[in-house]
């Protein structure tokens, strides 16, 4: 039996903002996944959240009128246009992925700009096509938000990621994992094996 899913949430507690990790099952990734061989990859644990940058009451807010449009075309996928007419609730978090660490299949409330700051190559997989997409240190990509996806470190170096999350309400989860049964179905569909026994 698997433990309950984990939610990464932001909240203000007594004037200090915290990033809370609620209970969840550890996950891993491996297998061919439609994008290349990961047969020897096995998880060692979950990524650590090293810092969260928020305002005193939770996610920071624009004071000016701001509209954001992201026009995204990644290899092997259709073009996506993401419009944020009233962007609000911005949070930034830093993650460390040791070799073997992975995120569960999850979604975000809004788009996320993911910067691969240092270390090895991050492997990113969307449930919609199961393709493993590599992002090396020094690169940035856009995660649209509502689409199920996972990411993992199958290399030998620690990866540092910085995620800038949009449309996050105070106390709302930055990332909400799929339930354990769906995790297993996605693993089978994408030939990954991300849920540890």
Q: What is the pLDDT of residue 93?
A: 92
Residue 2 is predicted with a pLDDT of 33
Give 130-159 pLDDT, tens digit per residue: 999 999 999 999 998 788 999 999 899 999
Task: Inform me whether the pLDDT recorded for 22 exceeds 80.
Answer: no
Q: How far lies 169's CA from each of 58, 59, 60, 174, in Å?
A: 8, 7, 9, 9
The whole-chain average pLDDT of the chain stands at 76
Contact 54, 91 (CB under 8 A): yes
pLDDT digits (tens, 9 = 90+) for 53-109: 777 778 888 888 888 898 988 887 788 898 887 788 899 999 999 988 888 899 999
- Assign 41 a pLDDT band (cuts: 50, 70, 90): very low
pLDDT attached to residue 137: 97
pLDDT of residue 173: 82
Q: Residue 14 pLDDT > 70, yes or no?
A: no
Beta carbons of 177 and 7 less than 8 angstroms apart:
yes
Would you say residue 51 has pLDDT above 80?
A: no
Coil/strand/helix, residue 167: coil
Residues 183-196 have pLDDT tens digits of 889 988 998 876 65
Across 11-20, 29-38, 137-146, the highest mean pLDDT is recorded for 137-146
Instruction: For 5-49, give the DSSP string.
Output: PP-EEEEEETTEEEEEE-----B---B-TTTS-BTT----BPPEE
Rounded Cα distance between 18 and 61, Å, is: 17
Q: Among candidates 50, 54, 82, which has minimal Cα distance to 68? A: 82
Residue partners of 181: CB distance under 8 A and separation at least 6: none
5 pLDDT above the threshold of 50: no
pLDDT, position 43: 59
pLDDT of residue 59: 86
Q: Of the candidates 119, 118, 159, 123, which has an alpha carbon nearest to the alpha carbon of residue 31? A: 123
Report the C-alpha gap between 72 and 142 in whole angstroms.
7
Per-residue pLDDT for 4 more than 80?
no
Round to whole Å and give the CA distance between 39 and 61.
43
Asked whether 15 and 54 are in contact (CB, 8 A), the reply is no
Task: Find the range with the poorest average confidence among 30-39, 71-80, 158-167.
Answer: 30-39
């Amino acid at each position: 039996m698997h433990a309950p899913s984990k939610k990464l949430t932001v909240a203000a507690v007594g004037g200090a903002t915290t990033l809370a990790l609620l209970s969840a099952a550890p996950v891993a990734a491996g297998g061919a996944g439609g994008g290349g061989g990961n047969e020897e990859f096995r998880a060692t644990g979950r990524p650590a959240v090293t810092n969260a940058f928020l305002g005193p009451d939770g996610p920071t807010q624009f004071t000016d009128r701001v509209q954001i449009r992201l026009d995204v075309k990644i290899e092997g996928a259709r073009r996506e246009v993401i419009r944020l007419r009233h962007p609000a609730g911005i949070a930034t978090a830093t993650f460390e992925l040791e070799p073997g660490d992975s995120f569960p299949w999850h979604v975000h409330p809004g788009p996320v700009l993911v910067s691969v700051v240092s270390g090895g190559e991050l492997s990113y997989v969307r449930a919609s096509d199961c393709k493993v997409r590599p992002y090396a240190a020094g690169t940035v990509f856009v995660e649209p938000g509502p689409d199920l996806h996972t990411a993992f470190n199958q290399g030998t170096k620690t990866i540092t990621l910085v995620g800038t999350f949009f449309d996050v309400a105070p106390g709302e989860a930055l990332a909400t994992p799929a339930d354990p049964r769906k995790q297993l179905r996605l693993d089978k569909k994408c030939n990954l094996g991300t849920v540890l026994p």
